[in-house]
Amino acid sequence: MKAGLALIKAWSAPTLSIRHVLLLITAALTLMIAFLAARDLLSNGERLNRAHELRDAIAVSDLLFDATGKISIERDLALSMLQASDAETLESLQEPLSDSRQASDAAIATALDALHRFPGSDLLALQDQLRQRRDEIVAMRPTIDAALSVTASGRDSALASRWEATSTALMTDVENLWLGFVRPFSNDDAVLTQHLRYRHMLRTITDYTGRERSIIGQLLSENVNPSLEQTAELLRGQGMLDQSWRLSRLIADESGLYPAIAAEYNDAESHYATLHDMTREMFYVQGARYRGVYPIGPDLWFELSSQASESLAALRDASRNATRAYLDDMIAKIERTIFLQVLISLLALALCGAGFWLIMARAIRPIDRIVDALTRAVRGEAVDFAGGARRDDEIGKLTTVLDAFQDNLEEVRRTADELDQTARALEEEVVVRRGAEQRTHEQLERLALLHQISRAIGERQDLGSIFKVAVGNVEERLPADFVCVCTYERADNCLKVERHGQASAARAIAMAMTEGALVAIDANGLSRCMSGRLVYESNLTDLPFPFPQRLAEGGLRSLVAAPLQVESQVFGALIVARAQAEAFSSGECEFLRQLSEHVALAAHQAQLNEALQRAYDELRQTQEVATQQERLRALGQMASGIAHDINNALSPIALYTESLLNTEPGLSKVGRGKLEVVQRAIDDAARTIARMNEFYRKRDAALELAPVHTNVLVKQVMDLTQARWRDMPQERGDVVEMRTDLTADIPALLGVESEIREALTNLVFNAIDALPLGGAVTLRTRSTTGPDGSSVDIEVIDNGHGMDEATRSKCLEPFFTTKGERGTGLGLAMVYGMVQRHSAGIEIDSAPGQGTTVRLKFQAATASADQTGAPIARPLKRLRLLIVDDDPILLRSLRDVLAADGHAVTSAAGGAAALEMIDGAGGDARVFDAVITDLGMPGVDGRRVAAAVKQKSETTPVILLTGWGERMRAEEETPPNVDSIVSKPPKLAELRAVLAAHCSANVQTRSA
């Protein structure tokens, strides 16, 4: 009671003294001990209640476990009877089946009744499902009994499977109910959780042991070999049993359960191993077959399996007893803990009461006396702190110290006066140090800003962004009212404003100093800045020069101009101004000087980067040109390899076509027109092959350009491509409309007609390929006049799918195609080669979905050029000619057309035959007026033939007829002993002209 009153008095006091604090601490300790004791008692009480619930829950789980075992026994007995064929087996199992049914029903009912004490929505749902499954089992029992009353052959074969599935589902439901029931209790104690897991392993072992006993018992009773399915089921069960035995032993060791069940465990495991070893060779080997009677009978098997089941039941009971013992021990420990906590709490409360009394008697009352003495001592009274009695405890020591304190009080007061003087001196020193720290802080901020700006401009590579970063940071962070960067224009001796700050835009407009504006340099501060010096004007209103006055009119009063200088050369200035006069400190001026150096260096670096980029771009362009030339060289080498064979194939066609046109006056107009189209096509093909050797080569002076009638050429192209734009699309059911837009009286263009016709043919083919579903192709001609004179334009226009920019930029490159395997990538490349040789122009306009327009621009022919023409060669008199070639078709066609001109023609099929003819002429090659020979022939080539002819007769002309003629003439590679070169396919007029040029003297000599 006294302690409570003292506590209330201490708590209600306006201020807390030491004695009040001691009282409160004592009371707090007492309350804390009482609280902790109550909390521990409540916690242990809850643990005790939970332990009792766990014991009840384990009992219920045992019931569920027993129910699972009883159901397993009923399932296995019923399966064995359904699969048995002899009446003796059925009769021996009938009574155990009835007992197992009653046991399983009783076990399920007992377990369900016990579960009512543990409510829960999940458990209720599982119980309802279990009841439903039990009803299904009960409903199937009469069906099973009926099936057992007939012979094995009369039973429903699917009944055993349905019974196994339904009973197994019932066991699964019981197991799920067991798992759902014990799950909330599994987290209460780790050891108990291991006990529950061990019980689950025992249930699995019991289940698979029952299945194994049923299958083997049936096989032994019927004395039959196991089927593949039965062997697989036994092997699967064996694997599960082996794994379950290992896991159960591991769980028993981890939980400490094994010592309590060691004897029962070893006995059950021994029975399992004995049964398995006894039946391994008979039933656990795929394809095992026994002839005669099994070594063991069904009675012995059921006796041994019953012993194994009894050992499992003993192991199950032993584990149950161990679990109950563990729970009983845990409950006893909790009860002992509660008892000890009650005793400790009472003892602690008694100690707190004793401590409270000691504090009051030995501390609080003496302290009150000392406080009273101190109060009187402060008033100047003489006091005795000991109160007439000296103590040896802490209070006594305190009174001694207080007596000494009273003696030294005066000395302390003198010391206090000295400390006051020292404090005033320190205050003055602090003011000085703060000023220095402020200046240092400002300098560090400027250095940080300089570092930030330097890093920002160092990351940029163009002058605009460098100036923008520098101006923006100075304007915002320094700060300043107007900032700009100017570059020095040496030619005009002025500054050009390159960039000003965003906040300075209004002042820049007012002062006419927007970006791009020019500021004249006079004899004021700007001229000094351009000489490389930092300029600071503290008051602009006092300066009479134009530039300071312009800034003053804009409301600015102070200015700093820092030169942008690299390698002693000033190329600009950084202008910073403020609205107040004398607004810049020396530190800020130094900051701007350093910043200008960084900006100048970054700007110089940007200029160097731009120069380096330009040099790199030029180098890349040079490399691209070199790469393209290398591609063209490779293309020319490849093309020359196939030119000879194609020219050989074209030669007979060209000779016979030209011969028919010249020697058959009775041809119809239609027939002659078709032959002329064939002749043009042959000429175009021959020129194309000739140009393949000089692909992309610039036109030499030897290329003869002649006037070409533009509109006539366009119509010829339409005739040549008619099959592609009319016939072939119609076969697919598509329509390609060919349109023309020809300018009347258009002047002739200057070029090679066959090359232009071939190029236009390729463009028309490309246009048609761009119209897979049909469309329109337009051929347009027009005449234009430009700075370079008159030109003739030919356009090929389609409304197809068009090209994107990437495709358009590559479409003229060799072997580039968008047609897949159908395209060669040479069409537009050859068109471009023709344009280069004619010094013409090509323009391509295209966009996806907008079609494509290809425009060829040629030089217009002059009137004088339009009147030029080549003379027509006339046939010579009769000549004796020797023609040599390894191609029999070409040899025959050449002989025919020359014989038609009246010449005596002798043919030799190859170089070796020609040498024999020359030698057979008696060593006189003058028997022939001329020799026409191929160049490339097996064995003896044209060079050896020419040498043999010249050796016999130096005056006999040798004419080399070859598919490489165009290339050899272009590269001036005329072989020795050859008088003239004629390209394949040969033209009859060209042959006549060559023969006329080289054989007229021989003919005249022979005539004389």
- For residue 188, count CB atoms less than 10 angstroms from its CB and return exposed for 0-12, middle for 13-18, buried for 19 or more: middle
Confidence band (pLDDT; 50, 70, 90) for 691? low
Q: Which of 478, 469, 474 is nearest to 445 (CA)?
A: 478
User: What mean pLDDT do residues 509-537 have?
Assistant: 82
* pLDDT value for 872: 47
**Per-residue pLDDT tens digits for 942-957:** 888 888 888 888 888 9
Burial degree of 480 (CB within 10 A; 0-12, 13-18, 19+): buried
437 has a pLDDT exceeding 60: yes
SS3 495: strand
Question: SS3 letters for 102-115?
Answer: HHHHHHHHHHHHHH
Band of pLDDT at residue 121, cut at 50, 70 and 90 = low
Kindly report the backbone phi and psi dihedral angles of residue 744, in degrees, each rounded to the nearest multiple of 5, phi listed first.
Answer: -70, 150
Compute the average pLDDT of residues 123-127. Answer: 69
Percent of the chain with pLDDT over 70: 74
Nearby residues of 105 by Cβ (< 8 Å), 6 or more positions away: 134, 138
Beta bridge partners of 784: 791
Residue 793: which H helix or E strand, with range? strand 789-798
Structure confidence by residue, pLDDT tens digits, 314-332: 877 787 787 777 777 777 8
The pair of three-digit structure tokens given for residue 976, joined into one six-digit string: 């020795």
pLDDT in tens, 200-209: 777 778 777 7
The string of pLDDT tens digits covering residues 905-928 is 898 888 888 888 888 765 555 678
pLDDT of residue 97: 78
- Mean pLDDT confidence for 995-1002: 75
What is the identity of the amino acid at 807? T
- Residue 379 pLDDT class (50, 70, 90 cuts): low
Question: Where do runs of H (alpha helix) occur along 922-987?
Answer: 942-952, 965-970
The whole-number pLDDT of residue 25 equals 75
Structure confidence by residue, pLDDT tens digits, 332-347: 877 788 888 788 878 8
Q: What is the mean pLDDT of residues 924-934?
A: 78
Q: Does the pLDDT value for residue 480 go beyond 80? A: yes
Q: Provide the pLDDT for residue 838.
A: 83
Beta strands in 658-770 (DSSP E): 706-708, 736-741, 749-751
pLDDT-derived band at 410 (thresholds 50, 70, 90) equals low
pLDDT grade for 868, boundaries at 50, 70 and 90: very low
The type of residue at 671 is G
Contact 880, 995 (CB under 8 A): no
- Where residue 358 falls among pLDDT bands split at 50, 70, 90? confident
pLDDT at 423: 84
What is the rounded CA–CA span in Å between residue 761 and residue 967?
A: 24
pLDDT in tens, 256-302: 878 888 888 888 888 878 877 777 777 766 655 555 567 777 677 77
Q: Which residue has the higher pLDDT, 775 or 154?
A: 775
Mean pLDDT value across the chain = 76
Model confidence at 142: pLDDT above 50: yes
Q: Which amino acid, 274? A: T
Per-residue pLDDT, averaged over 354-367, amounts to 70
The C-alpha angle 253, 255, 258, rounded to 5 degrees, equals 45
Give the strand pairing for 841-846 and 852-859: antiparallel
CB 24 within 8 A of CB 11: yes
The pLDDT value recorded for residue 796 is 92
Pairwise pLDDT comparison (691 vs 533), residue with the higher score: 533
The DSSP bridge partners found for residue 318 are: none
